[in-house]
Amino acid sequence: MRACGSVRPVVLLAVINSHRVAPGEQRKAVGGYSEEIGSGILPSFLWISRVVMERFTENLMYATRWLLAPVYLGLSLGLLALTIKFFQEIFHVLPHILSVTENELILLLLSLVDMSLVGGLLIMVMLSGYENFISALDIDEHKEKLNWLGKMDSGSLKNKVAASIVAISSIHLLRVFMEMRDIDNSKILWYILLHLTFVLSAFVMGYLDKMSRDSKAGH
């Protein structure tokens, strides 16, 4: 029993000594790191401990991306609520379709278009966000795949979201203009300024993304 117990320290020393290097010698660590370490058991043990801790921390940080998965899944609940509200508006107007005025019908249609644009924005953010920040979507070959999946990086996603927000703001501003008799002029001015802010922001984001792509293509 004593002989077996003395084997473990010998094996541990052999493993540590296998990682010993001469003073000033460059040693390449696991993961592609390299640094100068001194000779001896203690520096080698500290070097191994640092590499193990560093790899553990990196893997843990990389795994935290899955915390976003419930967030993207929660957006589907918003899409469900939007669908219910969409058909609620239709069911409300159907019994009175013959008595509805033209302006009221146009306002209702603009509201439905607005909700459809928001729904498309939710789907785009859910799928592209999941694919860009969590994991690639594994879709069977026999199933229909959206043509923009796998082609949108984070920059393209931001531009698409900005363009969708501008479109939604345009629809909302059009509804405001159709109801401008009942809206104060100061509020209309704020609506216009807010819409122009969205347009300018989308233009700046698209221009910066184009400059970034051109610089990468130049290199």
Rg of the chain's alpha carbons, rounded to an integer?
A: 30
Write down the pLDDT at residue 42.
60
Same domain, 81 and 143: yes
Same domain, 53 and 115: no
Mean predicted confidence (pLDDT) in 51-55: 88
pTM of the predicted model as reported, rounded to 2 decimal places: 0.67
**pLDDT digits 0-9 by tens, 143-180:** 777 777 777 777 778 888 888 889 888 888 888 888 88
- Cα-Cα-Cα-Cα torsion 40, 42, 45, 47, nearest 10 degrees, comes to -80
Same domain, 146 and 204: yes
Same domain, 8 and 91: no
Residue 22 has pLDDT above 60, yes or no: no
> Which residue carries 């233009």 as its tokens?
203
H or E element: which one contains 28? strand 26-28
53 pairs with which residues across the strands? none
Same domain, 77 and 159: yes
Q: Across the chain, what does the average pLDDT equal?
A: 78
Residue 92 has pLDDT above 70, yes or no: yes
Q: Which of 21, 46, 64 is the last residue of a domain?
A: 64
Same domain, 114 and 205: yes
Write down the pLDDT at residue 43.
67
Is the distance from CB of 21 to CB of 47 less than 8 angstroms? no
**pLDDT digits 0-9 by tens, 120-132:** 889 988 988 888 8
Give the Cα separation of 122 and 147 in Å (integer): 17
Number of domains present in the structure of the chain:
2
Same domain, 84 and 54: no
Same domain, 96 and 29: no
Mean predicted confidence (pLDDT) in 191-209: 89
Q: Which of 48, 64, 80 is the last residue of a domain?
A: 64
Percent of the chain with pLDDT over 90: 22
CA nearest to 125, candidates 155, 151, 160, 150: 160
Residues in the chain: 219
Q: Which of 45, 64, 83 is the last residue of a domain?
A: 64
Residue 60 has pLDDT above 90, yes or no: yes
Find the DSSP H helices in the chain. Answer: 2-5, 7-17, 41-63, 69-93, 102-133, 154-178, 185-218
The whole domain housing 44 covers: 2-64
